[in-house]
Amino acid sequence: MITLEGLTKRYGDATAVDGLTLSVEPGLVTGFLGPNGAGKSTTMRMILGLDRPTAGTALIRGRRYAEFRHPLREVGALLDAKAVHPGRGARAHLRAMAYSNGIPVSRVEEVLAVVGLAGVSGKRAGTFSLGMGQRLGIAGALLGDPGVLMFDEPVNGLDPDGVRWVRELMRSLAAEGRTVLVSSHLMSEMELTADRLVVIGKGRLLADAPIAEVLAASSRHRVRVRGPRPEGMDALAAGLAGRAADVERVSAGELLVSGVPAETVGELAHGLGVLLHELSPQEATLEQAYMELTAGSVEYAAAQGEGL
């Protein structure tokens, strides 16, 4: 488990992370989302002791990262795939990491096989493509067989097969009871991978909930209702308005309803004796929900609809 309590980081007058309080639970893939400059990387660096908090605490299983004698056995992290000596081979790089934390050298061959680099383990890291570098970084995170794993943009540079492999890896690690925190800008991939979402903007917490709740809270999460009798749809629309639902009249026989679940719409229609031909949820995408959450927290916004 990762626990943040009032975690804050300031650089002079600028606040990068502003009083974050949350827990990242084991057994789940937690997606860590936010616009550029939101404070995601700074938060991860503070969890790993690379940056010192201005205030608050970041604990891993109740301890600061610096307190672990063999940290790679406790926490595996990929923050920068390029943080490898370019002249060192993949196997040599992982062996150096293993020696530093008392990890058996046999584990190096295991993780090389897991990430698909066994056949190129003697090549210098400086010759690796971006995708190969990501695989080497993931191998380093897995090396100590840790219970807590953190990944910052792990699918950068990977082809579609590699992206699917990372997705399945994240989910399998969580299924083993590990704590998995993944930062990404790929909303479609997070929608397929994450169980829970933490969303921050301008260093502040915007959402911390299961992905289903984040999607359901979006204004784009609506219920489509169709019926053969306009007078019945009129009555249903009036009844829904009385329950603080937002009702859009598409036609005489069709409504789009937001603010209440499909079950509520169906029960109200039944109570009013309104015949329905369709009652179907129109779920929001994660991208739509994310854009709504972060609309007021974007640091770097390009001009819309303007060419060169």
Number of domains in the chain: 2
The CATH number for 260's domain is 3.30.70.790
Residues 203 and 240 in one domain: no
Q: Is residue 302 part of a domain?
A: no
Q: What are the structure tokens assigned to 175, written together? A: 């299924």
Which of 209, 232, 259 finishes a domain?
A: 209
Residues 120 and 14 in one domain: yes
Question: What are the beta bridge partners of residue 10?
Answer: 15
Instruction: State how beta strands 29-33 and 196-201 pair.
Output: parallel
pLDDT, residue 297, reads: 73
Residues 142 and 37 in one domain: yes
Q: Is residue 240 part of a domain?
A: yes
Residues 82 and 144 in one domain: yes
Residues 10 and 158 in one domain: yes
Is the distance from CB of 178 to CB of 75 less than 8 angstroms?
no
pLDDT, residue 182, reads: 96
* First CA to last CA distance, the chain: 48
Tell me whether residue 2 is exposed, middle or buried, using C-beta atoms within 10 angstroms of its C-beta: 0 to 12, 13 to 18, 19 or more. Answer: buried
pLDDT, residue 283, reads: 79
pLDDT, residue 302, reads: 56
Half-sphere exposure of residue 77: CA atoms within 13 angstroms, side-chain side: 20
Question: The whole model's pTM is what?
Answer: 0.82
Residues 137 and 266 in one domain: no
Residues 75 and 203 in one domain: yes
Residues 43 and 163 in one domain: yes
pLDDT, residue 221, reads: 77
Domain region containing 143: 2-209
DSSP 276: -
Question: What are the beta bridge partners of residue 199?
Answer: 33, 207
| Interatomic CA distance for residues 230 and 232, integer angstroms | 5
The CATH number for 164's domain is 3.40.50.300
Instruction: State how beta strands 148-152 and 75-78 pair.
Output: parallel
Residues 173 and 266 in one domain: no
Q: Is residue 300 part of a domain?
A: no
pLDDT, residue 260, reads: 83
- Which residue ranges of the chain lie beneath pLDDT 50? none
| Interatomic CA distance for residues 36 and 50, integer angstroms | 20
Residues 63 and 187 in one domain: yes
Q: Is residue 295 part of a domain?
A: no
Element (H, E) at 160: helix 160-175
Q: What are the structure tokens assigned to 179, written together? A: 């704590």
